[in-house]
Amino acid sequence: MLTRLLIVLLAILNVGVALWWMTPRTPPVAAAPRAEPGVASLEVLPSPAADARPVGAVAAVAAAPPPAAATKPEQATPAASAVTESRPDEAKPDEAKPAEPKPVAAVQCTSLGPYATQAQAQAALTALGADAARPRLREVPGKAASSYRVLIAPAASREEAQATAKRIVEAGFSDYFIVSQGEEANAVALGQYRNREGAERRLATLTAAGFPAKLATSGTEVAASWWVDTATAGAATPASLQQRSAAAQQQSLDCARLR
């Protein structure tokens, strides 16, 4: 009796297992992950082997926009951006604007003069002070005449000129002659020299002897002179430097010559 019961129970189990294997099964569907705000999710449809229905297209589900509270702090609202962009020139309190460089005045170079002596040129340079940059004193040699003559001015008559010549001879001077014609008629000439030094020595001896002799030149003679060469500094101009130095002339100068 027990044996029959076991055989029947075993048969029922075999039939149940066979029916379980014959029944079609649908594969389990994995749970869809939780969608993040702002990210679209994908839905996977069943395969043809597990479901006889036609395969549908994959549908994209748009996620709902994130709540206002979830907005990141660094994302500014359009209104705030508009306020920021409307004031581009407004400087930050802690930022100082750089000072604009002042335009540098162009340097000009000039020569001031002429001065008869070096001492006069030095006094003019001292008067210019700091407005004279890279100054220097420059001497311009003079130009000698073709000859120099020592004479006594023309007398009123020939007789008077002869009387003067007689006194010259009595004083020990033998080199003389009386001019007979021209603008210097009746003058007593006392020597002609090629250089000024010799003429000045002759003039000094005659003057010491009491004769009113004078020095005359033949040709053009240019005396030596001194000039102040300088560049302008600060707000000074060549015209202002000329006025302060009491110079008769002001000439433009190449600044390369002051190096």
Could you give the 3-state DSSP secondary structure of residue 94?
coil
pLDDT of residue 191: 92
What are the Cα distances from residue 115, in Å, to 112, 119, 153? 9, 9, 31
Query: Cα-flanking dihedrals φ and ψ of residue 251, to 5°?
Result: -120, 140
Tell me which of 3.40.1410.10, 3.30.450.20, 3.30.70.1070, 3.40.50.150 is the CATH number of domain 147-218. 3.30.70.1070
CA 107 to mean position of chain CA atoms: 11
pLDDT of residue 222: 86
pLDDT of residue 61: 41
CA 40 to mean position of chain CA atoms: 63
pLDDT of residue 91: 52
Angle between helices 238-245 and 118-128 (to 10 degrees): 120
- pLDDT of the chain, 259 residues: tens digit per residue: 678 888 888 888 888 877 877 776 666 555 555 655 655 555 555 555 444 444 444 334 444 455 544 445 455 454 444 444 545 555 555 556 666 665 556 889 999 999 999 999 999 999 999 999 999 999 999 888 889 999 999 999 999 999 999 999 999 998 899 999 988 999 999 999 999 999 999 999 999 999 999 999 888 888 899 999 999 988 899 999 999 999 999 999 999 888 7
Dist. CA 51–CA 49, nearest whole Å: 6
pLDDT of residue 197: 92
pLDDT of residue 49: 47
